[in-house]
Chains A and B, each alone.
Chain A
């Protein structure tokens, strides 16, 4: 299957600062990537769809100015949490859909964000 990496795997930041999370598709080009958020002991909630070379599509209720997504190349999407607050502490997971496979996605290992 596809290999998806995320960096960092774990980050702690102070309230009010910004944090950038990278998602890389290592073995094939991805025009689309997904970003999910998972609170402790909860399910994954889709935040946004990242589109290479164009604006991301955000799900209802997700602040696009707070969660900045950039998909500058076919192998890299970044999620920047701006002016982070403790309530933004969560597990952020990206995924890459497989071309030609409807709905099937391969997931990165996730990034644990803790805002103090």
Chain B
């Protein structure tokens, strides 16, 4: 069965500093990978996705992620964090269950931004 691990539950960075959020997945086939962001009390917004091709994918809000098959990782990065980036970030892998296509989410990483 597929699984997603986000090792860091909380991360605090200073505004303007760089950011990397870790994501490791377990899936037997070629993974479809996603990063979503959730602001307090809100639904999820898609930041970026990887299906195939270039392993470095660009997303919205200045985020990027790199797929590394050898490490089973899909880490999210941003060169300069803004205070508005404070939120919960979820990595997810696409898989198939008896109902069809589904997403399996990691536990999430809460990002706090210091002024």
Given that A102-B94, A104-B49 are known contacts, is A97 also in contact with B101, CB under 8 Å in the complex? yes
Contact of B44 among A49, A102, A103, A107 (CB under 8 A): A107
Say yes or no: is B11 at the interface (Cβ < 8 Å to chain A): no
Tell me if A106 and B46 are in contact (CB < 8 A): yes
A12 and B101 CA atoms in complex are apart in Å by 33
Which residues of chain A from 41 to 76 have any CB-CB distance to chain B below 8 Å in the complex? 41-46, 49, 51, 57, 59
Q: Which residue of B lies closest to A108 (CB)?
A: B43
**Chain B interface category by residue count:** 20 to 34
Tell me if B107 and A57 are in contact (CB < 8 A): no
Tell me if B46 and A112 are in contact (CB < 8 A): no
A95 and B100 CA atoms in complex are apart in Å by 14
Contact of B101 among A6, A59, A103, A112 (CB under 8 A): A103
B67, chain A: closest CB distance, angstroms = 15
A108 and B43 CA atoms in complex are apart in Å by 6
Tell me if B98 and A57 are in contact (CB < 8 A): yes
B39, chain A: closest CB distance, angstroms = 10
Query: Please, which residues of chain A bring their CB within 8 A of the CB of B103?
Result: 46, 103, 105
Which residues of chain B from 98 to 114 have any CB-CB distance to chain A below 8 Å in the complex? 98-103, 105-108, 110
What 9 A-B pairs are tightest by C-beta distance, nearest first?
A: A103-B94, A49-B99, A57-B99, A107-B43, A107-B44, A109-B43, A103-B32, A43-B105, A43-B107
> Assuming A107-B44, A110-B42, what are 13 further A-B pairs, CB within 8 angstroms?
A41-B110, A43-B108, A44-B105, A46-B103, A59-B97, A102-B51, A103-B94, A104-B32, A104-B94, A107-B36, A107-B43, A108-B43, A112-B41
Question: Would you give 19 A-B contacts (Cβ < 8 Å), ordered by A?
Answer: A1-B46, A41-B110, A42-B107, A43-B106, A43-B107, A46-B103, A49-B100, A93-B44, A102-B94, A103-B34, A104-B34, A104-B46, A105-B103, A106-B46, A107-B43, A107-B45, A109-B43, A110-B41, A110-B43
